[in-house]
Amino acid sequence: MCNPLISSPCYMRVAAILLVFLFVNSPIRLAGFSCQDNERQALLKFKRGLKDPGNRLSSWEVTTDCCLWKGVSCDNRTGHVIGLDLSNDHNEHQHQYQEQSVSDDRWALGGELSPHLLAIKHLTTLDLSGNYFGNMLIPAFLGSFKQLATLRLSRAGFGGRIPHQLGNLLGLRQLDLSNNGQSLLLDDCWWLSNLTSLQHLDLSFVNFGIATNWLKALNALHFILEIRLSQCGLLDGIPSSFQRLNLTSLVTLDLSDNYSNSTLPTWLFDLKSLQNLFLGGNYFYGSIPASIGNMSSLTVLELSDRFSLRGSIPGALGNLCKLQQLDLTWSRLRQNLSGMKEIFSGCIKNSLTKLSLRGASLSGYLPEWIGDFQNLKILDLSMNSLSGKLPSSLGRLLSLQQLSLYGNELNGDVPQTIGWLSELVILKLGLNSLEGGLSENFFANLRRLKYLDLSSTSLVLNLRPDWKPPFRLEYISVSSCILGPQFPSWIKTQESLSSLHMSDVNISDSIPDWFWNFSSSLKFINLSHNGIRGMLPDLSELADSNLTYVDLSCNLLEGTVPQFPKSISYLFLSNNSLSGLIPPGIHKTMPKLQYLFLSMNNLSGSIPLFLCNLEELIGVELSNNHLSGELPDCWEGSSNLLDLDVSQNEISGQIPISISHLTSLEHLNLRGNRLSGGLPSSLDGCRAMVLLDLSYNQLSGEITWMDRSFSNLKFLNLRANMFSGNLPPLSQLNSLQILDLSRNKFSGNIPKSYGNLSAMSYSRNNMQTETATYFHVAMNLDFKGLVVQFSSLLNLIVAIDLSKNHLLGPIPEELTDLYGLILLNLSGNNLTGHIPDKINLLKSLEAVDFSSNNLSGAIPPSIAQLYFLSYMNVSYNNLSGRIPISGQLSTFDSSSYVGNQGLCGIPLYECQDKGSVKDEAHLTSPEIWWHLSAELVMIMLLL
């Protein structure tokens, strides 16, 4: 046996063997094992074609070993380059499926991919993900790397058709072309079937175009473990059935967000090895089959968004003992949660870590057994119709990190047991009918809490102003809770806070000085609808501020409008008592400003020219102030502006020509000023206009051009001006639903073409409402004899008001084609002829005013078929005959008919002549029944 002494020959032999072993396997290479010279030269030529703004390839130098270059890996024995990893590590924070561009990332490589790379014949890995190649085509020569096993080109800004030559990479095991912004096109999938060694495939966000053979091609990949085809626009959808499925090794399948409209594919439930299944964002309908219980390996099941499932969740789902995440968000289950105990009593209750049934149309109460999910980390039951009280058993979910019950009908107190959930990070209980108080003791154990939403409840927060919370929140929303009257000083301990929502919380204090710089992370502030008083400081020099959104509207603030940090984009200070001028130089101090709302204050002076210099400006609302002077004529560079409201001021002069450059403008409200001159035809440049309100000004002249513009115009109000001539042609305004030309000097006949206003032909059930915006869109209408302002309901109103002009001729029969009309006011003109016999076609009509004209003939009996009619005025005309008394007409008093000498009957005097008796003989069947019913009631009362 050898004696292991340093001087012994045996030891020397062992040492020599060890040195040889270390030499062969060491990453440190001696001169004979450095990278191949031809490969080094090829890489240098490849580098010359690249753009490297971040100098990431600085180690790639002529005199150094290329195996030591960043991103290059070599074979330890031969020195051949086998791996090229040029992925952008700085872009790794992007979500796996977030469609994005990294064109502005200074670390992103770009330029061209040189074919000199072909000299690297032993390449097994190529990773260019996270860079930006400006929609460049994927080079077809990449299909020539016979030994390539991994190819990653995700999030790299490639575009055009994917070259079919990639099908030559027979040894490829991983292919990732995802997230290139859907500019990458796959029009045929046949080449994919050649990649028989493939195990991981990610083509998310690749546009499959006309490719229809994708499932058949993928079925040839017998070793595939992962397939991700999210948001691929699959042309033929996801087949509901498929024969001879060969994907027996498949572990992960993602077909989400392809908008497929079919029954839930049955072949999916034959994939026994499947562990992760993502089908969200498709229009699947039908029911979840019981065969889902056979997928015993399933750990993640996502069937969220747009599902229209019938029936209940099958009981077999409860037997998936490995299922950890179940997501049925917005799946329209229409099921009673309290009746689902049997499903969740199986072994699933022990495995689930995430249960999301948000927006799944659930009803019933929140049952006590919800506390049986001992391993649950995420519970999201928000946006349902759950009612009743919160069960105390929620306190047993000791692993819970997220509890979301937002947007239900829950009531009662918040149980103290929720405060036991020490792992809780997100707590969302807002938009419920919860009441009672929450004390500091409730929050004592919630040390990990980052997100707190108690908004739109009646909760009382019994917290001392100097309370020191155990948590460090990033998001707070307690709007509509009771928190005041003092400003909560404990907020300053939340140094990581990003969003603060404390509107309508009964604060009647001033904002403390520390508030504006207690958190450099703060981006969003909403303190609106309180009683906050005092003056705001100058915040233009606020150090390290990230503020982008500030809403202090509807308070009691005084003083002048202050400057805010350069980061500000949204500034809402309406409904206060601010005075003075709009601060000068906003375009320099707040260059990113997009929304500036200063309405309903006491501001004076003129509208500053520099508003035109805010290139990112989207909305400006300065209404209800004391602004004077003329409108600025400098809007040539404000193409992003959507909303301009300077109504109810003292603006004079003419409408500036440069407004025609506001090609994106949707809302122009100049109501209640002193504008004069005509309506400039240059306004037809504002083709996106939805609302145009010029009412209560001194505008004049004729309008002849409006019919050729404004295809999106829905609301047109020119009320109370001095416009003259014929009514403007408007028949091509197919979106128009409110037309108010009242109180002008228009003359001539009402155009028959007004009957072609197609948006007014829809019934109220077919009316579409717009999504909410920041803009305050409102319009004053003469409704049922009163001037009423419509704002939130404006999209539901369909109206024509031509009253108090000098119009002549008959009421066009064509107006009765406007089935959606709710208000029709033609009063105060010189109209003649009869009330149209087909007026009963206006089934949605609630108010009609034909008063103060020269109309003659009888009131048509068909008017009694307008069952929504609650206001009618035909007074001061030349109408005659008996007043129809059935239906809604029986509720109108004499003021609706006065001033017509030929009218008789209830509620006026009785008809005496034979003609009146004859009229009664012509009552319709419903009217006769109405009379008989009324007489029968009278007889019964007398008995």
Examine the fold and report which residue of 363, 397, 417 is the final residue of a domain before the chain moves on: 363
pLDDT at 66 over 80: yes
Q: Kindly state whether residues 190 and 260 are assigned to the same domain.
A: no
Choice among 11-15, 257-261, 803-807 with the minimum mean pLDDT: 11-15
pLDDT at 92: 53
Q: Kindly state whether residues 304 and 225 are assigned to the same domain.
A: no
Q: Kindly state whether residues 284 and 195 are assigned to the same domain.
A: no
Residue 478 counted as domain residue:
no
Q: Kindly state whether residues 161 and 232 are assigned to the same domain.
A: yes
pLDDT at 685 over 50: yes
pLDDT tens string 542-564: 777 899 999 999 999 999 999 99
pLDDT at 325 over 50: yes
Examine the fold and report which residue of 331, 363, 395 is the final residue of a domain before the chain moves on: 363
pLDDT at 236: 65
Q: Provide the number of structural domains found in the chain.
A: 3
Residue 570 counted as domain residue:
no
Q: What does the pLDDT average to over 243-267?
A: 87
Confidence of residue 14 (pLDDT cuts 50, 70, 90): very low
Kindly report the number of other CB atoms within 10 A of residue 122's CB atom. 18
Q: Kindly state whether residues 169 and 273 are assigned to the same domain.
A: no
Residue 572 counted as domain residue:
no
Pull the structure tokens for residue 677.
């001159």
DSSP code of residue 13: H
Confidence of residue 764 (pLDDT cuts 50, 70, 90): low
Pull the structure tokens for residue 432.
């419920």
Q: Which helix (H) or strand (E) holds 831?
A: none
Q: Kindly state whether residues 211 and 264 are assigned to the same domain.
A: no
Q: Kindly state whether residues 765 and 861 are assigned to the same domain.
A: yes
The Cα–Cα gap between 90 and 129 comes to 11
What is the Cβ-side half-sphere exposure of residue 728, based on CA atoms within 13 angstroms? 23
Q: Kindly state whether residues 200 and 259 are assigned to the same domain.
A: no
Residue 565 counted as domain residue:
no
Residue 306 counted as domain residue:
yes
DSSP code of residue 338: G
pLDDT tens string 619-656: 999 999 999 999 999 988 888 999 999 999 999 999 99
Q: Kindly state whether residues 226 and 296 are assigned to the same domain.
A: no
pLDDT at 934 over 60: no
Terminus-to-terminus CA distance in the chain, angstroms? 132
pLDDT at 28 over 70: no
Residue 427 counted as domain residue:
no
pLDDT tens string 401-444: 999 999 999 999 999 999 999 999 999 999 999 999 999 999 99
Q: What does the pLDDT average to over 147-166?
A: 96
pLDDT tens string 182-213: 789 998 899 999 999 999 999 999 998 778 88
Q: Kindly state whether residues 222 and 272 are assigned to the same domain.
A: no
Calculate the average pLDDT of the chain. 88
Give 472's contacts (C-beta < 8 A, 6+ positions apart).
450, 493, 494, 495, 496
The Cα–Cα gap between 677 and 675 comes to 7
Q: Which helix (H) or strand (E) holds 15?
A: helix 9-25
Q: Which domain holds residue 26?
A: 8-236
Q: What pTM was computed for the model?
A: 0.83
The Cα–Cα gap between 683 and 708 comes to 11
pLDDT at 24: 41
DSSP code of residue 914: H
Residue 519 counted as domain residue:
no
Which residue type occupies 114? S
pLDDT at 209: 79
Residue 83 counted as domain residue:
yes
pLDDT tens string 886-913: 777 888 999 999 999 999 998 998 888 6
pLDDT at 855 over 90: yes
Task: Determine the distance from the C-alpha atom of residue 173 to the mean position of all C-alpha atoms in its chain, rounded to a whole number.
Answer: 39
Q: Kindly state whether residues 779 and 908 are assigned to the same domain.
A: yes
Q: Kindly state whether residues 171 and 262 are assigned to the same domain.
A: no
Examine the fold and report which residue of 363, 390, 414 is the final residue of a domain before the chain moves on: 363
Q: Are 613 and 590 in contact (CB under 8 A)?
A: no
Residue 331: give its domain's CATH number. Answer: 3.80.10.10
